[in-house]
Structure 1
Amino acid sequence: MTYTGDVQVGGPADVRELTDLSISKLAVGPYDNNAYLLRCRATGDGLLIDAAAEPDRLLALIADKPVSTIITTHQHGDHWQALDQVSKMTGAQVVAHPLDAPALPVPVGRTVEHGDRINVGDVTLEVIHLRGHTPGSIALLYEGDDDHKHLFTGDSLFPGGVGNTWKDPERFEQLYTDVVERIFDRLPDQTWVYPGHGKDTTLGAERPSLPEWKARGW
């Protein structure tokens, strides 16, 4: 079946099979968060992006396979409600940016900065620091083994705009600048975007709207 990224709370995960990596997207309630389980196809090792909520459903998605790492994209509570239980059940190392790590409910085993690398089996993800939604928000880039690059953006980039900066002009300018310079100026239109809530998009679909986002200030 073709991956679309359209998932519903209570529904099944949508799974994308790449040559070297499997990506499973699951929507969890009550805030319609997306959690992403990445699994290296060569080694079987797993990595979870945002243990947001509903630990029983996340653990069912993981099943009896290993997960060595849980990355929390930022400090907001709707992205880590299941972190304590899932990290204990899996023994996974918890990873976050140092500016957001103190707000998490469990000790962070590894802090990461802009440009750092995180491995899941034989696959490598690059950390991209995107300041503005929170001080330590991060995105994760998988360079890809097909025609696409794959970017997990947390709450910093969505279809239709950057993340919420609560009408603070300085925070918006910081986030908009980071998203443009660190994502749009660097990555091609085919880059697939997996956000923290809602549907997926591509950079090509969003790029024409950048001037509109800047003008409106959100």
Structure 2
Amino acid sequence: MPDDHFRPPDGVVPDDVDPVFLNVADAVASWLGADPTGHGLAHAWRVFNTAMSLADEYPAADRTVLGAAALVHDVHRAMGLEAGEYVHPEDALEEVEAVLSGAEVTEEKRDAILHCVALHEEYDFRGDRRDPDRIEVELLRDADNLDAMGAVGIARCFAYTGAHGRPMWTGDGEDALDHVEAKLLNLGDEMHTDAARAVAERRHAFLESFLERFRAECRGQA
């Protein structure tokens, strides 16, 4: 089990969550439980909550597939920390399948979950986004991207860059603010669903407001 320091805070895990999701979370804890970069269990549960909320507008979505995919989608990030280099989600599917098997997720559901995980981290602004063929892929992408926006997105950005030894702001393109500008400000345009676009608009505005305030404070102007 993960160290208490990295456990999701009270209120993040729904009180009435289906036991199948608790099984998946327990099974993936050995991968995500000690993550210091903003891709740990708390992030997984936030993506889960957001994805399930978005899915209320899309009754055709398989909520078991979507919820489980949300909880396991960042195993590749943990593998990357161990390897010291980025690992693509498709290169983590064997490990994800082992997690799902350990949680006794059915084979039929596992295949769909693995498909969602394989396609979830692709972006138009980066030029590598493949068109999703399932609503669950769209919802997972949207929920994951929303967690990189707004107040939580900023907090995760500084956790991520700090864990990788990068400074807050130097102006040389290798700092936390560059990550906000190069990636986070582009995420609003990546949303697939109308439900996510409405949330993204508010979170994007917060990102812009934060950047303006941050720079002003650094210059002693606020």
- The alignment's TM-score, normalised by the length of structure 1, stands at 0.41
By percentage of residues, which structure has more helix?
Answer: 2
| Larger CA Rg, structure 1 vs 2 | 2
Return the structure number with greater relative CO, CA threshold 8 A, min gap 6.
2
- The alignment's TM-score, normalised by the length of structure 2, stands at 0.40
By percentage of residues, which structure has more strand?
Answer: 1
